[in-house]
Structure 1
Amino acid sequence: MQTTVTFKKIDTSVALKSYVQKKLDKFDKMLDSPAEAHVVLSVEKIRHIAEITLTCDKLKIHAKEDSESMYSSIDALMDKIKPQIKKHKEKVKQHLSRNKQSIKNESAQLNLSAESFDNPMTDQMVDTIIIETVDTKPMDIEDAVIELDSGKQSFFVFNNARTEQLNVLYKHNNGKLGLIQPIG
């Protein structure tokens, strides 16, 4: 892991730098790809502040901790980012496993054999599709409106006597009627 340690309002300390590096080396094993860490150590009155920005591929973590001792601030900071890295790894793992599962399911559903071409309706499709036959006798739109009002369905399929084409008359949610007719 490439680590940059910056000191603000505090003297540069090799011991603090090596302590931060030692702590971050543990996270390097958890991350899959090379990472960069920018650590800023500063002092404001009696508060010792440790701040980190960790970037690795799509992961970007920013955390800040303060306490009365710089070492305890660094420890608290590392304790803060560890669950975030674990959460990200679990999220990626779960996302990948879910995608693989869905790809397997889709390929199983789309597995077409020679017999499915001979018989276009497989048993699974027949179970999920309800087939209804419709008598499309020629009639005017007014007659179709009467048929639609007399039935319990929200649409009515008929053969338009004027255009000699198949039309669908349906009820909108607002109570108005709609007509679907092919162009040409």
Structure 2
Amino acid sequence: MFKYNMRGENIEVTEAIRSYATKRLSKLEKYFTDVPDVTAHVNFKVYSDKKAKVEVTIPFSFLVLRAEETSPDLYASIDLVVDKLERQVRKYKTRINRKARDRNVDVTLPVFEEVHEEHEQDGIEIVRKKRFNLKPMDTEEAVMQMNMLGHSFFVYEDSETGGINIVYQRKDNKYGLIETDNF
């Protein structure tokens, strides 16, 4: 069973909101044979134009699920986020199963540990820092993980060369690859 960490910005997270979000998010548990011990981080925001935004991040040891939605109704935003996360899980499971079946390989994906610190160095202000546990994967898996996270780039260890590579999404919606040389 998932644990939930819910917080609100410009809104009090009432028991009704908490109960509804928990009920809807627990729907994702059916996709896992052994529901892992993870904490779903849920943020509710209400803006001055009365729009409600819901952000959900669920970090597994093999995947990070993340989605956000904004709508005029908070409960509708919760529903939209859950639907988006459910599509991500189905897409992930389909790709992993197909890849494992085709290549007979064990597919592992990295976990991200976010560190919220502020550093100032030579006039450059670093407002966010992330640490990556790089696990070997091929380019296709890296692109899949990047898309699942909704990011425009992704850093990974190439499973064939052992080098650190970066995939990124170009403005034409194609992908680029930066390969590093190990000296």
TM-score norm. by structure 1 comes to: 0.51
Task: Verify: 1:58 aligned to 2:62, yes or no.
Answer: yes
Among residues 41, 45, 50, which one is paired with 2:44 in the alignment?
41
Among residues 46, 66, 73, which one is paired with 1:69 in the alignment?
73
The CA RMSD over aligned residues, in Å, is 1.6
1:59/1:88 contact within 8 Å kept: no
**Gaps (5+ residues) in structure 2?**
106-183
Name the SS for the 1:54 alignment partner. Answer: strand
Larger strand proportion of the pair: 2
Equivalent residue letter for 1:97: R
Among residues 78, 96, 104, which one is paired with 2:82 in the alignment?
78
**Gaps (5+ residues) in structure 1?**
102-184
1:41/1:50 contact within 8 Å kept: yes
> Which of the two has higher C-alpha Rg?
1
For residues 13-162 of structure 1, what are the structure 2 equivalents within 5 Å?
13-32=14-33, 33-34=35-36, 35-45=38-48, 46-100=50-104
Equivalent residue letter for 2:94: E
Name the SS for the 2:55 alignment partner. Answer: strand
Name the SS for the 2:12 alignment partner. Answer: coil
2:67/2:81 contact within 8 Å kept: yes
Q: Kindly, what percent of the aligned residue pairs are identical?
A: 28
CA distance in 2, matches of 1:57, 1:94: 20
Larger helix proportion of the pair: 1
Q: Which one scores higher on RCO, CA 8 angstroms, separation ≥ 6?
A: 2
Consecutive aligned runs of 4 or more in structure 1 exceeding 2 Å deviation: none
